[in-house]
Structures are given as structure tokens and as C-alpha cells.
Amino acid sequence: MRKPIMAGNWKMNKTAHEGVELVREMMDDLTPIASVERVFCPTFLAVPDVSRAVEGTDLGVGAQNLYFEASGAYTGEVSPEMVREFCDYVIIGHSERREYFGETDKGVNRKIKAALDVGLTPIVCVGETRELREQGKTESWVRDQVVAALDGLTAEQVASLIMAYEPIWAIGTGLAATPADAEEVCGGVVRATIAELYDRATADAVRIQYGGSVSPANAYEIMSQPNVDGGLVGGASLKASDFVTIVRETARAKGLS
Ligand code: 13P
């Protein structure tokens, strides 16, 4: 059985000081829910302090990005090894990075390989815009993103990473995908594509998160879907009680509490 994983993507929110406060607020409630993998993804500058704050617990820390080169003259960038010093996970190819910072499928693929090379677990984001959905192109778009992201990876590497289906129209809008839509894309597109590219066992091993307006109110229904193995949570991960409730609901939805 795949262990559910709930990650909070803090995006460009919380100073290092505020991030540690937030973690401290949640820690006692989150530590007992060991059936769900729980991960905080703060900004780079908050990562070291947050990682120290969770030391001695099984709470994980992830970065929101990295650069694929190992070192050198890349002003403003952070290398895989630098991320690895403090993190176990890294979000790659978030739609905000694709939209505002020009990230391409090719770059995303290079970043995934670089992350795997240093032992980080990539959380690879894919998802369609509202226009694409309305044009009935969700399946082909997401499929193409998955194919491009995984290009050249071994089955073993793919089995170890995490995919996140984040429909762009659902991010930060309060309009989450319906549980059925989340299931359809996570299972019928992302997992199905991996089965087609690799094999059934690899596809069954990959954990696939849903992201986009996950909240305490909708977490149970969405996380109850068999092909949804957790969530990538933005806004609601910035509020301690909301994130704790979402993690609890996930454990309940998977019959683990
Ligand atoms: P929201 O939960 O705020 O919609 O953000 C989702 C997201 O983009 C997580 O990466």
C-alpha cells in the first residue's frame, strides 16, 4: 500500500522566524499522525531553521525549487546538494514556476534527474489550465507533461518519486477539482501514463498527490479516492489548524486513523 503524503507548499510566505512559529504550532498535533507522511516546504531562507525545528521528529522538509547544475556561476540559484543538506524533498515544475519563471518541460526533466542524483525525492507538478480543460485537452496535456518530465528515468527512479496533479484553475481559487475529477486525472491519466511508459508495478508504486484548493472541508472526499495518495496544499498549509485537520482527514480517508 502507498503511504499517503501531505505536503504544505508555503510558496512565498512566512519568514524563517514565522515559519518556525508555524511549525511549532502544529508539531504536537502532527507528530502522532505517523500513518501520513507530513512535509513542510518553506522558502529557501526558511528551510534551515524549519529543518532544525523538526529535528528528532519524522516530519519532513522540502524545498520549492532547485537548479540542475552542481555548482558554479549561476547567480541567484541553489544547487541540488545545497538543498539536500537540509531537505529530503523538492517540488519541481510547479505551475507558478512554469508560468512566471519560464520553466520548461525540458528544464523540469533536468531538475528531476539532478534531484534524484543527490537523493532528494522530487514532487513533480503537472496540471492543465482552465482553457485546456474546457477544450477537452486535459488528458493529452497532462499526459504530455508526464512523458516529458520522466524522459530518460529508470523505472526504479520513477517508482521513488511523487507526482502532483495540480489543475491550474483550482490553485488558490477555492474551486477544488471534484473528487471524481481528481481521481480521473491522478489514476486515469498520470498513473495510466506511467503504466504505459514503464509497467504496472512502477505505476502502482508512484504516489500521486492532488493539489488545488485542498481544505479541511474537502480533504476527506478527495483523499478517499483510491488513486489520490495525498495532497500538495498551498493556502491551507499556512494555517496550523487547517493543515492539521487536512492531515487527520487524510488518515481517516485512508482508513489509517
Ligand atoms: P492552494 O492550496 O492555495 O490552492 O495551492 C495549491 C498549490 O499550488 C500547492 O502547490
203 C-alpha to ligand 1 centroid (Å):
24
How remote is the CA of residue 134 from the centroid of ligand 1, in Å? 21
For 38, half-sphere exposure in the C-beta direction (CA atoms, 13 angstrom radius) is 28
Cα–Cα dist 49/170, whole Å: 31
Residue with cell 512523458: 147
Q: What gap in Å lies between CA 99 and CA 102, rounded to an integer? A: 6
The answer to whether the CB of 9 falls within 8 A of the CB of 211 is yes
Closest ligand 1 atom to 11 CA: 10
Q: Which residue has the cell 520513477?
A: 158
Conformational region of residue 188, where left means phi above 0, alpha means psi within -120 to 50, and beta covers everything else? alpha
State whether residue 99 is helix, strand or coil.
helix
How many domains does one find in the chain? 1
Q: Which helix or strand (DSSP H or E) is residue 117 part of?
A: helix 105-117
Q: Which domain holds residue 226?
A: 5-253
Angle between helical axes of 138-149 and 105-117 (0-180°, round to 10): 40
Residue 125's domain is classified under what CATH number? 3.20.20.70
- Cα within 13 Å of Cα(130), Cβ side: 7
Across the chain, which has 257 residues, the per-10-residue mean pLDDT values are 98 98 98 98 98 98 98 98 98 98 98 98 98 98 98 98 98 98 98 98 98 98 98 98 98 96
Ligand 1 proximal residues by C-beta, below 6 Å: 9, 94, 166, 171-172, 211-214, 232-236
**Residue from 65, 208, 232 whose mutation best tests the ligand 1 pocket (most atoms within 8 A of CB):** 232
Helix (H) or strand (E) holding 138: helix 138-149
Report the pLDDT value the prediction gives residue 184, as an integer from 0 to 100. Answer: 98
Any residues with CB less than 8 A from the CB of 170 and at least 6 apart, and which?
176, 177, 211, 212, 213
Handedness of CA 19, 165, 150, 106 (dihedral sign): negative
Q: What is the pLDDT of residue 257?
A: 85
Q: CA nearest 138: which of 165, 156, 162, 119?
A: 165
**Three-state DSSP state, 122:** strand
pLDDT at 85: 98
